[in-house]
Amino acid sequence: MKVLVVGSGGREHALVWKIAQSPLLTALHAAPGSTAISQLATCHPGTKATDLDGLVALARTEAIDLVVVGPEDPLAAGISDRLRDERIATFGPSAAAAQLEGSKAFSKRFMQRHGIPTAAYAVFDQSDAAHAYVDSLGRPCVVKADGLAAGKGVAMCIDAAAAHIAIDEMMSDKRFGDAGDRVVVEEWLHGEEVSYYAICDGDRIVTLAAAQDHKRAFDGDEGENTGGMGAYSPAPVVTDEVEKKILERVVHPTIVGMKKDGHPYQGVLFVGLMIDDAGDPQVIEFNVRFGDPETQPLMMRMESDFLPILDASARGTLDESSSIAWGEAAVCVVLASGGYPRGYEVGREISGLEGLNRDDSLVVFHAGTRGAASGQGFETAGGRVLGITARGDSVREARDRAYRAVDAIEFADMHYRRDIGARALAR
C-alpha cells in the first residue's frame, strides 16, 4: 500500500513513524514533511499542507492508495472532499464534518441539538456585546476564538478583567486573525481534563486509548494556553465506568448526530473532555484530527498495526470488533522555544540528540525543526520544537525516562514543563 501523510509537525512525525512499521506498506510519502520525517518517508517540501491542488496532483502522480491528513486546516478547506472526488481513499472528515473543529459556535449548537453534555455558552460577533455579557456574568469564564487557532485560541479567564483582555486580543487586535472575528464565551468547567479518541468510518467506531494533555505554558497549569506542552497515556481518570459514559453520552451521539445532519464522520474524532468528581463527562471541544502532543505517546503505546484501521476508516469498512493492543504507558515532554506561545526566536542549534538513538524505549519526535545551517544536525524552526517521548511499564517509569533524555538536550532559550504526568502520579 502506498501512503501519503499530509503535514510536517510532531503529530505527523509520530504517524509516519507508526505507519512505517506496517508490513502492508510499500511506499511512504509526506507533504511537505520535514528533515526529520525524511528519514522515514519520501518528502515533498514543495507541496504545502494547505495546497489542495498540489496534494491532489501528488496523490495522483504517486498512485497513492491512502492519504492520511494530519493538520486541521486542509480538512476544513476540503482536502478530503477533493481527494475522494478523485477516488483516492482519505483518512479525515469532509469539510462539512470538519466544522466540528473549524467553528466553536457550530460545535456548540450541534451538541445542544443532539443532547451532548457541554458547558453553557453564548456566541458573539460584536466585541461590545461580548464585553457586556462578561460583565453580567460576575464569575470565571472561558473565551474562545470561533475559528481555527492552532490550539491556542482559548483563554481561561479568572475574572472579568482577564476576559475583557482576551476579547480585545481576539476580536480587535486580531491575535488569531479571522479566527477571532467571532468568539464563544463559556462557563468555566471544573474537574480533570482528558483527550479521548475514536476512529470512525461514518457509521462504526474503533476506540483508541485516552491521553491527558498539558495546555498551560508553565508548571502547575499556570500561564497561557499553548498548543500543548506534553502528554501522557493512559489517563487514570478514564476508568472503565467513565469510558462507558463517554461512549454512551458523547461519542455515539456525535457519530449518529453527524450522519443525521447529513455529514457522516470519517477519520479520528478527538474529544476534549472535562471529567467531574462524579465521573461525568462534558465536552470542552471537538477536534477533527489527532492531537499534538497526545499522538506521540499514543503511537508509542500502540502495539498493533495501525495502517489497516486507518485504511478501513477511509473506505467505510471498519470492523467494530477490532481491538488494538497497547503497551503500559508513554509520556511526551515538549521542548519549546522561549517566549512560546507568543513571540520566539528560531534558528537555535540543537545539541544532544545524537546520543539518544540507542534507546528503543525513547523516540524524539520533531515538531518544529529543520536541518542546521551548519549542515550537521538540527536547529529550531517553531514554537514547539521537540516531543521527547518514552515508553515504560508505568507512567512514572516512562516519565523518568523522558526527563532523563530532556536533560541531555540543549538549545538557547529552551523552555519546558517539569510536571508532565503529575496528575497520574498523584493518584
CA distance 144 to 192: 19
For the cut 80, the answer to whether the pLDDT of residue 357 exceeds it is: no
Question: CA 258 to CA 201: how far, in whole Å?
Answer: 12
C-alpha–C-alpha distance, residues 55 and 231, integer Å: 30
CB-CB contact of 35 with 64 (8 Å): no
Q: Which three cell numbers stand for residue 240?
A: 472503565
Q: How confident is the model at residue 40 (pLDDT cuts 50, 70, 90)?
A: very high
Instruction: Categorise residue 158: left if φ over 0, alpha if ψ from -120 to 50, beta otherwise.
Output: alpha
Is the alpha carbon torsion for 303, 307, 313, 319 positive or negative? negative
Q: Give the confidence band of 113 by pLDDT, cuts at 50, 70, 90.
A: very high
Q: What is the mean pLDDT of residues 205-213?
A: 95
Question: Alpha carbon 222 to chain centroid distance?
Answer: 20
DSSP letters along 314-325, please? HHT---TT----
Residue 153: pLDDT over 90 = no
pLDDT at 91: 98
227 contacts 152 by C-beta, under 8 angstroms: yes
* Check whether domain 329-426 has CATH 3.90.600.10, yes or no: yes
> Where are the chain's structural domains?
2-92, 126-181, 190-315, 329-426
Task: Tell which CATH architecture fits domain 2-92.
Answer: 3-Layer(aba) Sandwich (3.40)
Query: What topology does CATH give the domain 190-315?
Result: D-amino Acid Aminotransferase; Chain A, domain 1 (3.30.470)
234 cis-preceded (ω within 30 degrees of 0): yes
Spatial CB neighbours of 301, under 8 Å, sequence gap ≥ 6: 209, 233, 234, 326, 327, 328, 329, 330, 391
What is the structure's pLDDT at 15? 98
| Mean pLDDT taken over the chain | 95
This model's pTM is above 0.85: yes
Q: What is the pLDDT of residue 412?
A: 97
Using alpha carbons only, what angle is made at residue 58 by residues 57 and 60, rounded to the nearest 5 degrees? Answer: 65
Q: Is the pLDDT of residue 348 over 90?
A: yes
Give the chain's largest Cα–Cα span: 60
d(CA 425, CA 427): 6
Residue 413, pLDDT score: 96
Q: With a cut of 80, say whether residue 150 has pLDDT above it.
A: no
Average pLDDT for residues 58-76, to the nearest whole number?
97
The DSSP H or E segment spanning 3 is strand 2-7
- Res. 88: pLDDT tops 90: yes
Q: What was the pLDDT predicted at 320?
A: 85
Average pLDDT on 125-147 reads 91
Confidence at residue 264, expressed as pLDDT on a 0 to 100 scale: 97
Query: Is the peptide bond between 264 and the residue preceding it cis, with omega within 30 degrees of 0?
Result: no
The model's confidence at residue 397, banded by pLDDT at 50, 70 and 90, is very high
Q: Are 197 and 290 in contact (CB under 8 A)?
A: yes
pLDDT bucket at 147, cuts 50 / 70 / 90? confident
Residue 392: pLDDT band (50, 70, 90) is very high
pLDDT at 375 over 90: no
- Residue 347 predicted with pLDDT over 80: yes
For position 131, what pLDDT does the model report?
A: 94
* 138/160 Cα distance (integer angstroms): 7
**Class of the CATH domain delimited by 126-181:** alpha beta
pLDDT digits (tens, 9 = 90+) for 211-265: 999 999 999 999 988 989 999 999 999 999 999 999 999 999 999 999 999 999 9
Residue 252: the pLDDT is 97
State the average pLDDT over residues 46-71. Answer: 98
Categorize the per-residue pLDDT at 355 as very low, low, confident or very high, splitting at 50, 70 and 90.
confident
| Vertex 13 angle, CA 10 and 19, to 5° | 140
Considering the chain, what percentage of its residues have pLDDT values greater than 70? Answer: 100
* Distance (Å) of CA 382 to CA 9, 337, 345, 347: 10, 7, 8, 9
